[in-house]
Amino acid sequence: MAPPADKFKYALKSNDAWASYKGHQNESFFPTLAKGQAPEILWLGCSDSRCPETTLLGLQPGDVFTHRNIANILSPTDLNFLSVLEYAVVHIKVKHIVLCGHTSCGGCVGALSDSRIGGVLDAWLTPLKAVRAANQKELSAIQDDGERIKRLAELNVKQGVDVLMANYVVREAIEKRGLDVHGVLFNIGSGKIQDLGLGTDGELTQSKDGKISLTDGTEGQGKRESASAPVPEFEIVRGNHAMLVFNNDDTAVLTVR
């Protein structure tokens, strides 16, 4: 079958079919969504079209509050990012913040290059180029281009998690209600998400000059007891359809309820 000539018109028809199917599965799905949102996850990711958070997490509309930009760069002076962060943490009261980088990231490719891209992109990638400069010795020692890009993506996530953990709103929510912060990497080639052991699973330190830094941690390292209520035996993602069921051992299975 030949690909559609007009991708936008095809997308609208696909949306109509999807909406009809979802409504047939669960008549209350869209009316419930229209009443408001209560997502438990704030996803901070890259604008890359290959990294759609709800799809790759196997979740549903209403489950993930999202902010995405080129190369998932978190700047402490970016009002766009800060407004999303504050709304999600203070008003929605999400339980998890997930900062996700990914393999084959075009932003990392640009930051590793010594050539100008042009326009505003050079300015936008400046923080990522700074991460490159701070880790130049390690990155230069990596011979494989793909692995070098992947490593810069990991270092960029670590830098972003540092920004999150130094943010007052985030730190207050961690202390008062057990907010969790996670740094992860999405492998486009496998479709799998790797937990990098950062955030509230990492080791947060503060130097004498007041600088806050975060080191890679193993699962559970440096993790404080949650201030929230005890975790139930399992948590069901909303919907009268196929859904993911999360167990206490951090495994998930796809089931129909």
pLDDT, tens only, 121-148: 999 999 999 999 999 999 999 999 999 9
Q: Is a pLDDT exceeding 90 seen at residue 167?
A: yes
Angle at the Cα of 112 from the Cα atoms of 110 and 114, rounded to 5 degrees: 85
Catalytic residue among 51, 63, 100, 102: 102
Catalytic: 216? Answer: no
Q: Does residue 199 come out as left (phi exceeding 0), alpha (psi in the -120 to 50 range) or beta? A: left
Domain ranges of the chain: 37-226, 230-257
Residue 51 labeled ligand binder: no
Q: Is a pLDDT exceeding 60 seen at residue 193?
A: yes
pLDDT of residue 221: 34
Q: Which residue has the tokens 């007891």?
A: 225
Catalytic: 48? Answer: yes
The C-alpha atoms of residue 168 and residue 237 are separated, in whole angstroms, by 30
pLDDT tens-place string over residues 87-124? 999 999 999 999 999 999 999 999 999 999 999 999 99
**SS3 of 61, please?**
coil
- C-alpha distances out from residue 237 to 17, 52, 57, 234, Å: 23, 18, 11, 10
The CATH H-level (homologous superfamily) assignment of domain 37-226 is Carbonic anhydrase (3.40.1050.10)
What does pTM read for this prediction? 0.79
Catalytic: 108? Answer: no
Catalytic: 50? Answer: yes
